[in-house]
Amino acid sequence: MRGLTSPLWPIHFKPLPDELLSSWLVRLAHSHGLKVQTFCNLIFGNRLQVWNRDIDRLAPDWLIRGLSDRTGAAIDQVMDTTLQSYQGIVYHRHRASGTLSWIQSLRLHHRKFEGFGLQFCPECLAQDKEPYFRKSWRVAFNTVCTIHNCMLNDRCPYCGHGVAFHRNDMRRNQYVTTVSLKECHYCGIDLSKSPTIRASHASSDVSIFLGNLSRKLQDGSLDQSEIDNLLIMHHFTKLIFTSNPTVKLYSHLCNIMDVDEIALDIKADIEGAGVETRHLVLQLIAYLMLDLGSSLREAIEAKAIRYNHLKRDFNDMPSWYMVVIGRFSNWRTRNLFI
């Protein structure tokens, strides 16, 4: 296609608010009337493969630079569409493979997503002038749309497949300007027409606590104490998804909060769990966080957890958390209320 070799592409719109790199790239390809694979091969050549990795997490430099050069977007603006922009906020240690804290796994296998790593809000997709996917929809502690207060979906409600909009054009002929990201790549159904489920929370305090984290993540205003909270909350997810039979935190919290337990896959983690399970686990953890000292004391007294569990394998513990759990270091001999 003529024009694709010049520095700026003929169509070079910038990413929409909170848009994921992959969503932006697919929209750019379709706006030029090309399939995603054809477009990427024309720009980057056959040897530089774009889609054999989770590009939102592992965007290579040549892709970042290429998008910046061809769209006129600043490098920082391009980087901001990647999950790497969450480093130091949502996760702290970069890893090229394996799980990143709070970043949902796509479970990429032969260019197919076998996991449920990208969520969506049907109402957001329905209201978008140009449907697109948000970066914050890849984050495991987001289970509710902060605008519509409905549950996010993590799969097509009709065929059960995860979202993989970069594959939507595979069922079409060469010119694909009418392909929308909101179609399910597998069955073609319009995901914006998915049934909407109102979010329910264990309490209004829990709802406010979790909603605040989600909203501030989206507008980039999480402060250090909230970033610390996410670190602690992630440690609690590991104590909930554990195969250690002496840790009974999950059952204890379900019992205290009078909610039904969902069977957990203890070989999994929060990043690989479905949205319903994550939503329940987050309710339990928010309850813990709202009054950490008292709720941990309650769990220790119920023998659901021991002091060692609270610190084992927990790197980078916030100092105030160490103070809180320090009260339980020899709890049998000390007054816990001091």
Q: Report if residue 145 touches Zn ion, rule: CB under 5 A.
A: yes
Token couple for 338: 């001091």
Q: Near Zn ion by CB under 5 A, which window of 55-63, 78-86, 158-166, 210-218?
A: 158-166
- Using the minimum distance from each CB to Zn ion, give the nearer residue, 102 or 133: 133
Residue 100 to residue 142: CA distance in whole angstroms: 15
DSSP class per residue in 226-237: HHHHHHHHHHHH
- Using the minimum distance from each CB to Zn ion, give the nearer residue, 88 or 160: 160
- Using the minimum distance from each CB to Zn ion, give the nearer residue, 66 or 122: 122
- Amino acid in the structure at residue 165: F
Q: Which of 184, 232, 249, 270 binds Zn ion (CB under 5 A)?
A: 184
- Amino acid in the structure at residue 271: E
Q: Which of 186, 236, 241, 287 binds Zn ion (CB under 5 A)?
A: 186
Q: Report if residue 170 touches Zn ion, rule: CB under 5 A.
A: no
- Using the minimum distance from each CB to Zn ion, give the nearer residue, 186 or 241: 186
Q: Which of residues 97-136 bind Zn ion (CB under 5 A)?
A: 121, 123-124
**Is 99 exposed, middle or buried, given 0-12, 13-18 or 19+ CB atoms closer than 10 A?**
middle
Q: Which of 90, 156, 249, 300 binds Zn ion (CB under 5 A)?
A: 156
Question: Residue 171 Cβ, how far from Zn ion at the closest point, in Å?
Answer: 12
Angle, to 10 degrees, between the axis of helix 61-71 and the axis of helix 21-31? 50
- Using the minimum distance from each CB to Zn ion, give the nearer residue, 44 or 158: 158
Token couple for 226: 């909230």
Q: Report if residue 187 touches Zn ion, rule: CB under 5 A.
A: yes
Question: Residue 209 Cβ, how far from Zn ion at the closest point, in Å?
Answer: 20
Contacts with Zn ion: how many residues (CB under 5 A)?
Answer: 12
β-bridge partners, 78: none
Q: Report if residue 148 touches Zn ion, rule: CB under 5 A.
A: yes
Are 217 and 136 in contact by the 8 Å Cβ rule? The answer is yes
Residue 335 to residue 291: CA distance in whole angstroms: 18
Residue 177 to residue 65: CA distance in whole angstroms: 25
Residue 267 to residue 279: CA distance in whole angstroms: 18
Q: Report if residue 29 touches Zn ion, rule: CB under 5 A.
A: no
Question: Residue 184 Cβ, how far from Zn ion at the closest point, in Å?
Answer: 3
Q: Is 108 helix (H, G, I), strand (E, B) or coil?
A: strand
Q: Which of residues 275-314 bind Zn ion (CB under 5 A)?
A: none
Q: Near Zn ion by CB under 5 A, which window of 5-13, 93-101, 150-158, 263-271?
A: 150-158
- Using the minimum distance from each CB to Zn ion, give the nearer residue, 65 or 193: 193
Question: Residue 146 Cβ, how far from Zn ion at the closest point, in Å?
Answer: 8
Query: Which residues does 141 contact at the CB level (< 8 Å), separation at least 6?
Result: 102, 210, 213, 214, 230, 233, 270, 278, 282
Question: Residue 228 Cβ, how far from Zn ion at the closest point, in Å?
Answer: 28
Contact residues: Zn ion, CB under 5 A? 121, 123-124, 145, 147-148, 156, 158-159, 184, 186-187
